[in-house]
C-alpha cells in the first residue's frame, strides 16, 4: 500500500516541475532539441513545455503501475488487464522521448493489442471459468 501511495504522490509532484518557471522565467525562453529522432521546427521546443509533456508521461506511467499493483491484490485477470496498460504507457513514454510520438500508427496498434487483451480477459476467460464451475 505504501508503494502505491508513493507512486501516486510522486507522479503528482513530478508534474509540478513545470510550474518552477513561475519563479525562474528564463527557463521558458530557452529552446531545446531533446528528442532522439525528431527535430522540433525552428530553434526547438521550449524547455518548460518539454518538462510539462515529459512529466505528464511519467504521471500516466506511475498511475498505471499503481493501478496494476492494486489489481494484483484483487484478481489475476484484472492484473493482466492493467499490465497491458502499463505496457502501453511505457511504450508511449519512450516514443515521446524518441520522436515526440510521430509514429501515430504505433499507438493505434498498441491500443488494438491492449483492447484485444481486455476483450480476451473479459469475454473468453469468463466463459472458460463459467464452464469449469
**Whose CA is closest to 85, among 69, 102, 74?**
69
Residue listed under C-alpha cell 511505457: 90
The grid coordinates listed for 112 are 488494438
| Separation between Cα atoms, residue 21 and residue 28, nearest integer Å | 6
How many domains, in total, are found in the chain? 1
Q: pLDDT for 26-67, tens place per residue?
A: 666 688 888 888 887 888 888 888 888 999 999 999 999 999
- Check whether 131 has a pLDDT greater than 60: no
The residue range of the domain holding 12 is 2-132
Q: pLDDT for 104-114, tens place per residue?
A: 899 899 999 99
This prediction has a pTM of 0.81
DSSP 102-130: --HHHHHHHHHHHHHHHHIIIIIHHHHHH
Amino acid at each position: 500500500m505504501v508503494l502505491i501511495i508513493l507512486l501516486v504522490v510522486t507522479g503528482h509532484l513530478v508534474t509540478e516541475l513545470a510550474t518552477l518557471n513561475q519563479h525562474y522565467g528564463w527557463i521558458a525562453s530557452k529552446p531545446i532539441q531533446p528528442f532522439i529522432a525528431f527535430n522540433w521546427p525552428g530553434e526547438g521546443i521550449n524547455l518548460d513545455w518539454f518538462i510539462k509533456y515529459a512529466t505528464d508521461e511519467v504521471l500516466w506511467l506511475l498511475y498505471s503501475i499503481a493501478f496494476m499493483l492494486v489489481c494484483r491484490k484483487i484478481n489475476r485477470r484484472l492484473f493482466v488487464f492493467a499490465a497491458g496498460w502499463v505496457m502501453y504507457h511505457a511504450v508511449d513514454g519512450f516514443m515521446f522521448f524518441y520522436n515526440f510520438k510521430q509514429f501515430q500508427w504505433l499507438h493505434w496498434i498498441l491500443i488494438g493489442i491492449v483492447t484485444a487483451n481486455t476483450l480476451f480477459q473479459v469475454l473468453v476467460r469468463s466463459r472458460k471459468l463459467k464452464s469449469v464451475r
